[in-house]
Amino acid sequence: MKNTIKLALPFAAVAAVFVAGCASQPQGPADKVTMALEAMKRDFQAKGIAGMDRLNTDKLQEVCNQTKNRPNPDLAEKLEAEQLAAIKYPADGKFMGDWKAGEKHAQSGSGMTWSDKGDKPAGGNCYNCHRLSPKELSYGTIGPSLLGYGKLHGNGMAAQKATYSQIYNSKAFSACSAMPRFGHAGVFTEKQIKDLVALLLDPESPVNK
């Protein structure tokens, strides 16, 4: 999924600049986004598991596109509430899994591309945006550092549920968050999210060493 997002976002940006440069009349943000999406839908070719449905946007994403990720506070609050209400929590009431498996998910960026069969869970590629383990030298800074996350938040039930929710759908807390909606979009399984919660909260995890 992240690979797809990384490919899609630059293309959208280039398309938006291109169509804006060719337009004879000034265009607003919503017009530019619409034209860019139309260009993508025209030129994108479905292949393997990468279908045309990946170009579809829901109401929340449309608002973020049209407002340059800055919806008015009242609308943002309403959208976040809708996203939070749609989170599906584990039926067994447990939010933590195996932090070692979670580290593997965090390191992996595989899956969700046209060449994948879709029969294996996708990786999270978490280090692309966050720092987690102090031993990892290569990490991104798009998202905040998560070093010591468990030390800061504890690992009680409230922290577990909040962390699960954030991974499942970050837009429930920030309407136009750049973080993918891993659970909402079906990228992660319930077990994967539990394992990542453990990676962040377990005292034995490298995140908290």
| CATH for the stretch 99-208 | 1.10.760.10
pLDDT at 26: 55
> What pLDDT shows up at residue 20?
43
SS3 content of the chain, % helix, strand, coil (to 5): 50, 0, 45
Residue 194: Cβ within 10 Å count? 23
- pLDDT for 86: 97
Residue 143 near residue 130, CB atoms below 8 Å: yes
> Phi first, then psi: what are they for 197, rounded to 5°?
-60, -45
pLDDT value of residue 7: 37
List the chain residues with pLDDT less than 70: 1-30
pTM of the entire predicted model: 0.80
pLDDT of residue 17: 39
Taking the C-alpha atoms of residue 123 and residue 107, their distance in angstroms, rounded to an integer, is: 7
User: Domains of the chain: which residue ranges?
Assistant: 2-70, 99-208
The whole-number pLDDT of residue 16 equals: 41
Question: How far is Cα 200 from Cα 151, in angstroms, rounded to an integer?
Answer: 9
pLDDT of residue 201: 98
3-state secondary structure of 50: strand
Single-letter amino acid code for the residue at 72: N
pLDDT of 134 reads 92
Q: Given this model, what pLDDT does residue 32 score?
A: 79
CB of 208 within 8 A of CB of 148? yes
* Cα–Cα distance for residue pair 175/63, rounded to 1 Å: 9
- Find how far residue 202's CA is from the centre of its chain: 22
Instruction: Please return the burial class of 11, using the count of CB atoms within 10 Å of its CB with bins 0-12, 13-18 and 19+.
Output: middle
